[in-house]
Amino acid sequence: MERFSSNYDIEGSLGAADPIRFIRGLWEPLSDDRTVFTMYGRNALYLGMKSISLITPKREILLPSYSCGEEIQAAIEAGFIPRFYRVNFMMEVDPKEIEVLVTEATAAVLATHYLGFPLKRIGEIAALCKKEKIYFIEDCAHCCGGSPEGTPLGSYGDISVFSLKKALGIPHGGALVANNQKISLPATAEPPSSATALDFFLFLGFRNGWIKPGFDIRKMLSDTTTEAAFGALHDKVGGYGLGLSRLAKAMIESADVKSLAIARNDNYKRYLRIFEKAKPNRIKAMFTEIDTDACPLFFPIVVDDSERKHRLLIENKICISQPFWSHWHPACDPAAYPEANELKRRLMVLPVTHRISDTQIMRLIEFVENSDS
């Protein structure tokens, strides 16, 4: 690995890639000049939070109890003390749950558009933050465009963050949008080829099935990344400070974002029809409706125990689903948030970013429906 990553200068070989043109095909607000492109969504979170920490002495941040963990780690590393608000089993947030936690020390609130579905009460949460004079961070890591009620997702927050890796299916990529002019745009460093090449290698491995589900990514990245459950990737060579690679820019430039968004919606509807027809009892579609212009990242399904089902499915070579966010960040106590805990224990997802055949989905449904427990 050492030889591969240090010998092949993938970034240098793409030296002629146009640094600006790649932005043109992206959705609002990413096409805005208040956008900084980063190597990952977590880099955008950290850099945005750090910029906020420089303009307020307040040190508490309110985060959703249902989180992937990277939001929490970025907040801690940016110098904030995380506190958590309730998220219900339908992944919805009541702004009152946030309001009761606001104190003199509250600097910011983060809210997430889970799985790319617009958070229903996002406008009210943004208004609450404005009223309380606290910064609002809109986590759009799962989003790929979308403008419910005419406001592009990512325009509500003082800052918003995106994970282009997820949105566009590329090896890495993130973005920070600083909608609030008071928040300064952070500088980023160009990622070294060692980091870009490793990510590309992993990307190809997963895409082509050379790497099997459950593979420990951090082990593979050990040339450039220290082992930790959460936090920056490639932290030995720049971590949270890394900007977008030339490789990712070249891939974004050739992406057909509109078609990707349509395919996500179409796949979601097709999976839903399969579930409606099969009417299973032990594996259920979480949301039974989808807006015509919604652009989800995943099709969420509810089972009794996602980790156990996943192991059984893999043993039986049914490798299309994955448990979603089953791990807790140590800063958040599962016992205090039973609904988030239930979500962490029971949710699995099917990707809608690429096509899974009807037959494969039926195999999954039949397997879970007929499994012993």
Chain contacts with ligand PLP (rule: CB under 6 A):
40-42, 45, 68, 70-71, 112, 139, 141, 163, 165, 174
318 vs 351, which CB is nearer to ligand PLP? 351
Q: Find out whether 146 and 118 touch, Cβ atoms under 8 Å.
A: yes
323 vs 368, which CB is nearer to ligand PLP? 323
Which residues does residue 159 pair with via DSSP β-bridges, in sequence order? Answer: 137, 178
141 vs 247, which CB is nearer to ligand PLP? 141
77 vs 139, which CB is nearer to ligand PLP? 139
340 vs 365, which CB is nearer to ligand PLP? 340
Q: In what order do the strands lie in the sheet with 284-285?
A: 284-285, 298-302, 347-351, 322-323
How many Å apart are CA 283 and CA 120, to the nearest integer?
A: 25
The single residue listed with the structure tokens 């920070």 is 176
170 vs 274, which CB is nearer to ligand PLP? 170
How far out from the chain centre does Cα 79 lie? 22
137 vs 303, which CB is nearer to ligand PLP? 137
Q: Find out whether 238 and 146 touch, Cβ atoms under 8 Å.
A: no
Least distance from ligand PLP to the Cβ atom of residue 256, Å: 21
Q: Find out whether 153 and 146 touch, Cβ atoms under 8 Å.
A: yes
Least distance from ligand PLP to the Cβ atom of residue 225, Å: 12
Q: Find out whether 44 and 176 touch, Cβ atoms under 8 Å.
A: yes
Least distance from ligand PLP to the Cβ atom of residue 26, Å: 15
Work out the number of other CB atoms within 10 angstroms of the CB of residue 288: 9
Tell me the residue nearest to ligand PLP as measured from the CB.
41
Least distance from ligand PLP to the Cβ atom of residue 39, Å: 8
E runs forming strands in the chain: 35-38, 60-64, 81-85, 106-112, 135-140, 159-163, 174-178, 284-285, 298-302, 322-323, 347-351
Least distance from ligand PLP to the Cβ atom of residue 140, Å: 8
Least distance from ligand PLP to the Cβ atom of residue 164, Å: 8
Angle between helices 338-346 and 306-315 (to 10 degrees): 10
Least distance from ligand PLP to the Cβ atom of residue 163, Å: 3
